[in-house]
Amino acid sequence: MTKNFLCLGLDSEAEKLPKGQTQLSFNQAIVEATHDLAAAYKLNSAFYEAQGSKGWEALKKTIAFIHQQSPGMPVIWDAKRGDIGNTSQQYARAAFEELQADAITLNPYLGRDALQPFLDYQDKTCYILCRTSNPGAKEFQDELYLKVAKKVVQEWNQNNNCGLVVGATGMQELQKVREIAPNLPLLIPGVGTQGGLLTEVLRYGKDSSGGGLLINVSRSVIFASSGKNFAGAARQKVLELIQK
């Protein structure tokens, strides 16, 4: 995997942080150690919201730090938003104006009008859940994921700012999505801890020009060590992935 495909997930669970680290200091150390190797960073909102106001502050300051440390580096807010009317407008403002995220993950279940406030930010990327990596995905998504992909390609991507989230744990599904959406960017979680195979994702996930792919890795990298050299261990883990 080249650095062009690596999205590093800062799922900085407070209970797993090395001794003496806060979410912010931990994130800053990881970013300092890996920003020259990563193509993007993704922050899962849950790990920050669970810490209340200090977690939200850590989330906001981490995004600002990434932009300062590596200008132009995309930061994805993994919030899986999607609601009606004014609610979505406020969520979009929170993502793109308050947090200054470059992209967000969105839930398509409520339809286009729920996502339109996000889509209207033409310079931001909207990664729409299509076929996720968790075991329960098959309960509903197997009947819907191709419809979601077609809807995004044919109707929702008018501003050319849509992407799809497709898990690394289902290669058949990934291949089918790529057939429908040969040019959309894909965000692919599930490599590493969840069992997705990197070689298979690289084989089937690239777009028609050989790019258009972000492979997310998180826990297996950021928590590679709980010792003082946790940032160095994370960097080494990233280098191992890049060399595969």
Catalytic residues: 80
- Per-residue H/E/C for 161-190: CEEEEECCCCHHHHHHHHHHCCCCCEEECC
Task: Please answer whether residues 214 and 185 qualify as being in contact, where contact means their C-beta atoms are separated by less than 8 angstroms.
Answer: yes
β-partners of residue 43 are: 77
Question: Which 8-state DSSP code applies to residue 18?
Answer: P
Of the candidates 22, 66, 81, 69, the residue with the CA atom closest to the CA atom of residue 47: 22
Greatest alpha-carbon pair distance for the chain in Å reads: 50
- Strand spans (E) along the chain: 6-9, 40-44, 75-81, 103-106, 125-131, 162-166, 186-188, 213-217
Phi-psi region of 224 (alpha: psi -120 to 50; beta: other; left: phi over 0): alpha
